[in-house]
Amino acid sequence: NWTGRRDHVLLTMALQTGLRVSEIINIRCQDVVTGTGAHIVCEGKGRKQRATPLRQELCRLIQVWLNERKGLPTDPLFPTIRGSKLSRDAVEHIVRRHICAATKSCQSLTGKRVSPHVLRHSTAMELLQHGVDQTVIALWLGHESVETTQVYVHADLRIKEQALARVQAPDSHPGRYRPDDALLAFLEAL
């Protein structure tokens, strides 16, 4: 159905781009470039515009969606059935509804609280786990500073374990210290 296809594109975009809910609901059809250099232009916090790149699979989904919805360039990319832009609550409801459905086939989701912000967090963690520099992640997510991105570094124990594995332990031998003969002779001469 129409809303299911809209939701599929919306959720895929949210997970692959890490856009904020406010950014997703304000995307217009004209803000999407699906050709060479595919990206979405969105307005983030502080009315700052940024471009977020798109993978080819997502471009194909968006192109099919744009062809189906046949809206004006200034129309919202993800409209309600009546054609207006979705609200923040509507997006949260969409995420909850689809997580509830997914729980039936993926038991590990049971009891987990998945929100649009969790999808954004997942994008950041995915980038971090694939070695993307924190500065790039901060730019990607539209953070004012790299410090905001630090929360993702602290959140992932796996990254810490991998970092620890890269560092060699100091060459130390446990036990009691025994000074050599020259040091003992020097100390006795004092």
**Which CATH fold topology does 2-166 show?**
hpI Integrase; Chain A (1.10.443)
Domain locations along the chain: 2-166
pLDDT of 124: 87
Q: How far apart are CA 158 and CA 166, in angstroms?
A: 13
Q: Which of 143, 154, 173, 177 is catalytic?
A: 143
The predicted structure's pLDDT at residue 165: 74
pLDDT digits (tens, 9 = 90+) for 162-181: 666 766 655 655 667 777 88
Q: Is 45 a catalytic residue?
A: yes
Active-site choice (8, 60, 88, 117): 117
Is 173 labeled as catalytic in the residue annotation? no
- For 44, residues 6+ apart whose C-beta sits below 8 A from its C-beta are 20, 23, 50, 142
pLDDT at 154: 64
**Are the C-beta atoms of 32 and 132 separated by less than 8 Å?**
no
Catalytic residue among 45, 48, 55, 93: 45
Question: What value, to the nearest 5°, has the Cα angle with vertex 16 and ends 11 and 18?
Answer: 90
Sign, CA torsion 172/176/181/185: positive
Residues 6+ apart with CB under 8 A from 154: none
Known catalytic membership, residue 177: no
**Arithmetic mean of pLDDT, 65-76:** 92
Taking the C-alpha atoms of residue 46 and residue 85, their distance in angstroms, rounded to an integer, is 20
Annotation marks residue 143 as catalytic: yes
20 is catalytic: yes
34-48, 53-67, 77-91, range with the lowest pLDDT: 34-48
Task: State the CB neighbour count (10 A cutoff) for residue 87.
Answer: 12
Percent of the chain with pLDDT over 70: 85
pLDDT band at 109 (very low <50, low <70, confident <90, very high): confident
Of the candidates 42, 36, 34, 37, the one whose C-alpha atom is nearest the C-alpha of residue 17 is 42
